[in-house]
């Protein structure tokens, strides 16, 4: 069945061709073709990241823009951390949880603030649909709020390791 074939195809991040050109071994991860290792091997990559820094394609993760006059009150309601504490210059990101009605976790996430009334909420790829439905339901009582799934419009890379800040500076 042609429709079933399309459903089973894995998605590719914008960096897919670059991963392949660098010799990455690609595997399916939550519906995406993702690199699992490069020719140098996992151990060397791990040690290099732990000692200096490593760059990771995390474009498979869910990305939701939350903006508008009620963005902050909405996030204060649906997340466990204080979204108002984010300062665009000093601490523009925070690790947070999306709790359910009984205090359990729907998912963990990262919240970024780049401008006054707009945030980027990054969620786990495996939970993207579930998180989106949960947030859509919670947003119904906020009339001055835009909740946008921008996963397919924004790519994302992560620089990790002890030299990350120095490299970024």
Q: What share of the chain is helix, strand, coil (3-state, %, to 5)?
A: 30, 35, 35
The answer on pLDDT for 2 being more than 50 is no
The answer on pLDDT for 93 being more than 70 is yes
pTM of the predicted protein model? 0.86
Burial 141-161, CB ≥16 within 10 A → b, else e: ebeebebebebeeeebeeeeb
In sequence order, what are the residues at sequence separation of 6 or more whose Cβ sits closer than 8 angstroms to the Cβ of residue 94? Answer: 81, 83, 85, 86, 110, 111
Q: What is residue 1's predicted lDDT score, i.e. its pLDDT?
A: 36
159, 55 Cβ separation under 8 angstroms: yes
**Phi, psi of 152, rounded to the nearest 5 degrees:** -85, -5
The answer on pLDDT for 86 being more than 90 is no
- Residue range 15-24, pLDDT digits in tens: 999 999 999 9
What mean pLDDT value characterizes the chain? 91
């Amino acid at each position: 069945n042609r429709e079933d074939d399309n459903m089973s195809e894995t998605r590719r991040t914008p960096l897919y061709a670059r991963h392949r050109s660098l010799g990455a071994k690609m595997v399916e991860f939550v519906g995406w073709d993702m690199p699992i290792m490069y020719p140098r091997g996992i151990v060397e990559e791990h040690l290099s990241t732990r000692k200096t820094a490593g760059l990771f394609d995390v474009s498979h993760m869910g990305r939701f823009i939350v903006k508008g006059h009620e963005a902050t009150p909405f996030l204060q309601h649906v997340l466990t951390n204080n979204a108002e504490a984010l300062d665009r210059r000093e601490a523009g990101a925070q690790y947070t949880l999306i709790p359910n009605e009984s205090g359990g976790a729907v998912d963990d996430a990262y919240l970024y603030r780049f401008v006054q009334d707009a945030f980027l909420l990054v969620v786990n790829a495996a939970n993207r649909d579930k998180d989106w439905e949960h947030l859509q339901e919670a947003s119904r009582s906020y009339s001055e709020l835009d909740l946008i799934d921008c996963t397919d419009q924004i790519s994302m890379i992560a620089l990790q390791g002890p030299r990350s800040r120095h490299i970024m500076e």
